[in-house]
Amino acid sequence: MCGIAGILNMKDASPVERSSLERMIAMLHHRGPDGTGYYLRPDIGLAHSRLSIIDIDGGAQPITNEDGSLWVVFNGEIFNYLELRTDLEKLGHRFSTNSDTEVIVHLFEEKGARCLDDLNGQFAIALWDGRRRKLLLARDRMGIRPLFYTIHDGRFYFGSEIKAIFAAESSIPREIDPVVLKEVFTFWMPGDRETIFKGIRQLAPGHYAWVDTDGISESEYWDIPFTLLDKNIFRSEVDYAEEYRELLIDSIRLQLRADVPVGAYLSGGLDSSSITSLVRSHTSNRLKTFSVTFSDSTYDESSEQQEVVSFLDTDHASVNCISDEIASVFPDVVWHAETPLLRTAPAPLLLLSRLVRENGYKVVLTGEGADEILGGYDIFKEAKIRAFIHRDTSSSLRPLLLKRLYPYLALSPTESAAYATKFFDTGASPLDPFYSHRPRWKTTCWTHNFLRNEIADGSFSNPIDKIESRYGHKLSGLDFFSAAQYLEAKTLLGNYLLSSQGDRMAMANSVEGRFPFLDHRLVEYACQIPPGLRMKTLNEKNILKKAMAGRLPSGIICRKKQPYMAPDIASFSGKIGREHIECYLSKDAIINAGIFKPQAVRHLVEKCLRNQRQGFRENMAFVGILSTQILIEKFVNSFTYQ
């Protein structure tokens, strides 16, 4: 794991300066505190900050091929590098290091950009082809590792984080994009490749791009392969479960490769417990596990965590998270996330990665991805229930099923079946490819009430029109359940869970997260499982539960899904939280930012301070406004160059 950055001259004739690269990579020191490296020519500069995990003594970057014509900087891991290296050596390639990075340049010599098809890993790659004078950028299939870029004054800038790009030159604009802000306040994330900052884009997951003096050309090399299933192919649940388990074991085997100790996050849920169980079954060392606990019992899962710890005999450490701590680190969370947030959930994960690092670990396995790929969320249950109701709208019994949804939410919309029916009604048919997500978007759009009229009133593009244009052709012909999974994986997973809660919070403390469920082989296999077996009736992650039967306590396997959450408004009721409110949400701060309606914000803040128990919409609005104001202060008003 590392940070990468670079500059390519496109139209500017002046040489790339080392000082610009040094400023860029200094901004990424938290991603790679173990060393820095540079490749510099008049028209190209590459920089790297290293977190040493594989080939600690010899894997410094940039790395080149035998004749020095190719140079690569790389953030992430290639888990199947040993197998690829063996094949390349048979073809006559000679290696000067034992790193996974060097495999990339030799594989590129053989296959060009199609080498990406052979890589099993999580990565952001920048490879300079000196003979062709072209820069190749590539990002892993699921979007685990970030990669951002911009074109400014005849130069192409890229980096693992946006702050590295801003550090390159003071003339690069740092301006909030109100179009994207409206999208974040609809979907929790940008609707496409744009970011919250005007002119800064991200390379999409499963894509690569060629960059030269003519510009940038982006191509897709992989996508989540949900397709119409052949109903004539029949396999039993047991067959699916056994094969899936074997693939998961092999994914874990590959992802345990490291020259440093590997730990695991343990939430107490099925996903992380499954990873922990299979690691314990296939290693001889006692596994180190880490978890977050909460003083508020609404969010706490410590009893389930301890049940798994006792069952698997792991060496366990936990951090107890109180509201004041969430408020205390929240500005740092926004700094690392580089985007507005609608929940405080990333904050405890920042504290968790700090605990990991304090215990001397650089690498942890986590359970992210299983819910999206195997059908674990209530949004999928919700879609099934709504579709069931749609088939007989005269039934008075079918709407009662809605009461089984979201029991963990304060002021849940499902407490009353009548209210729930109205709440989830969008007028859409199950044939609508966006059927599953329209209720969520309708709820989140309530936050638009706080945006200034010129942003909220439609003078900017409609966010939902944009996301329909981006993904509509991808969802065409899919059943509504697979469409829901695809949409969740491409939006919330890639642009929020793997970034704001994943990569950014771990790397803030120089910790690499690895995601066995997101091995592309498991994703491809899960897409072949019939939707009715992924979620059998309303039994989420049915195949994973069968795969893990007997390997975990029955209470953990049968436990209803408890999404990871953290207290939102309640986190800012103490001294530190109120100081943030006074600083970032004052009338003057709101007016100066020019994004929100001052009076509407003031009424919301007063309401939240009077009564911390607010609904989902109020919590989202409060956190969204606060995080946006922090973002503006840190990146627009007071960004400093090192």
Question: Residue 39 burial by CB count (10 A; 0-12/13-18/19+): exposed, middle or buried?
Answer: buried
Q: Is 625 or 234 the better-scoring residue by pLDDT?
A: 625
Determine how many CB atoms are found less than 10 A away from the CB of residue 293. 17
**Token pair for residue 356?**
């990991």
Q: β-strands 215-220, 315-321: how paired?
A: unpaired
Q: What is the DSSP string of 102-166?
A: HHHHHHHHHHGGGGGGG--EEEEEEEEETTTTEEEEEE-TT--S--EEEEETTEEEEESSHHHHH
User: In the structure, what pLDDT confidence band is assigned to residue 390 with cuts at 50, 70 and 90?
Assistant: confident
Q: Is residue 309 predicted with pLDDT exceeding 90?
A: yes
Question: Residue 527 burial by CB count (10 A; 0-12/13-18/19+): exposed, middle or buried?
Answer: middle
**Token pair for residue 238?**
């047991």
Please give the angle made by the CA atoms of 617, 437 and 161, to the nearest 5 degrees: 75
Q: What is the mean pLDDT of the chain?
A: 92
Q: Is 386 or 487 the better-scoring residue by pLDDT?
A: 487
Nearest partner of 278 among 305, 314, 307, judged by Cα: 314
Q: What are phi and psi of 340, to 5 degrees?
A: -60, 145
Residue-wise burial string across 233-256, b where 16 or more C-beta atoms lie within 10 A, e elsewhere:
eeeebeebbebbbebbbbbbebbb
Nearest partner of 501 among 371, 336, 630, 621, judged by Cα: 336
Judged by DSSP in three states, 513 sits in strand
3-state helix, strand, coil in the chain (%, to 5): 45, 15, 40
CA distance 5 to 27: 10
CA distance 532 to 521: 21
Q: Is residue 411 predicted with pLDDT exceeding 60?
A: no
Cβ-Cβ contacts under 8 Å for 232 (sequence gap 6 or more): none
Q: Is 381 or 3 the better-scoring residue by pLDDT?
A: 3
For the segment 433-461, what is each residue's pLDDT rounded down to a tens digit? Answer: 999 999 899 989 999 999 999 888 766 67
> For residue 571, what is the DSSP state?
G
Residues in the chain: 642
Judged by DSSP in three states, 380 sits in helix
The pLDDT, as a whole number, for residue 615 is: 85
What CA–CA distances, in Å, run from 580 to 310, 462, 601?
A: 40, 32, 14
For the segment 188-199, what is each residue's pLDDT rounded down to a tens digit? Answer: 999 889 999 999
Nearest partner of 125 among 111, 115, 110, 139, judged by Cα: 139
CA distance 507 to 491: 21
> CB–CB of 342/188 below 8 Å?
yes
CA distance 530 to 235: 9
Q: Which residue has the tokens 């005007």?
A: 198
The pLDDT, as a whole number, for residue 1 is: 65
Average the pLDDT over 460-489 and give the result: 91
The pLDDT, as a whole number, for residue 418 is: 64
Cβ-Cβ contacts under 8 Å for 472 (sequence gap 6 or more): 433, 434
The pLDDT, as a whole number, for residue 441 is: 93
**Out of 17-21, 262-266, 420-424, 527-531, least confident range:** 420-424
Q: What percent of the chain has pLDDT over 70?
A: 95
CA distance 143 to 154: 28
The pLDDT, as a whole number, for residue 563 is: 84
The pLDDT, as a whole number, for residue 605 is: 96
User: In the structure, what pLDDT confidence band is assigned to residue 25 with cuts at 50, 70 and 90?
Assistant: very high
What CA–CA distances, in Å, run from 102 to 58, 77, 105, 336?
A: 11, 11, 6, 29
Average the pLDDT over 306-332 and give the result: 95
User: In the structure, what pLDDT confidence band is assigned to residue 577 with cuts at 50, 70 and 90?
Assistant: very high
Please give the angle made by the CA atoms of 337, 513 and 260, to the nearest 5 degrees: 135
**Which range has the top average pLDDT, 13-17, 161-165, 281-285?**
161-165
What CA–CA distances, in Å, run from 395 to 113, 401, 406, 421?
A: 55, 11, 22, 12
Q: What are phi and psi of 50, to 5 degrees?
A: -110, 135
**Out of 123-127, 353-357, 370-374, 476-480, least confident range:** 476-480
Sheet containing 121-129: give its strands across. Answer: 63-64, 70-78, 121-129, 134-139, 207-212, 215-220
Q: β-strands 44-50, 2-9: how paired?
A: antiparallel
The pLDDT, as a whole number, for residue 486 is: 96
Q: How far apart are the first and last CA of the chain?
A: 23
**Token pair for residue 558?**
């049968």
The pLDDT, as a whole number, for residue 20 is: 97
User: In the structure, what pLDDT confidence band is assigned to residue 298 with cuts at 50, 70 and 90?
Assistant: confident
Q: Which residue has the tokens 């405080």?
A: 344
The pLDDT, as a whole number, for residue 95 is: 94
What CA–CA distances, in Å, run from 441 to 6, 337, 360, 446, 630?
A: 37, 22, 41, 9, 24
Q: pTM for this structure? A: 0.95
CA distance 216 to 137: 10
The 3 state secondary structure assigned to 414-442 is CCCHHHHHHHHCCCCCCCCCCCCCHHHHH
Cβ-Cβ contacts under 8 Å for 100 (sequence gap 6 or more): 54, 55, 59, 77, 78, 79, 81, 121
Average the pLDDT over 61-74 and give the result: 95
What is the enclosing helix (H) or strand (E) of 210?
strand 207-212
Question: Residue 205 burial by CB count (10 A; 0-12/13-18/19+): exposed, middle or buried?
Answer: buried
Domains of the chain: 2-177+200-220 (3.60.20.10), 237-368+498-558 (3.40.50.620), 374-491 (no CATH), 569-637 (no CATH)
**Cα within 13 Å of Cα(60), Cβ side:** 9
**Token pair for residue 432?**
């609508």
For the segment 256-265, what is each residue's pLDDT rounded down to a tens digit? Answer: 999 999 999 9
For the segment 366-389, what is each residue's pLDDT rounded down to a tens digit? Answer: 999 999 999 999 899 888 888 888
Residue-wise burial string across 135-167, b where 16 or more C-beta atoms lie within 10 A, e elsewhere:
bbbbbbbbbbbbbbbbbbeebbbbbbbbbbbbb
The pLDDT, as a whole number, for residue 412 is: 63
> For residue 596, what is the DSSP state?
B
Q: β-strands 201-202, 148-152: how paired?
A: antiparallel
Average the pLDDT over 202-223 and give the result: 97
Q: What is the DSSP string of 431-490?
A: TSTTTTTHHHHHHHGGGGGGB-HHHHSSSSPPHHHHHHHHHHHHHTT--HHHHHHHHHII
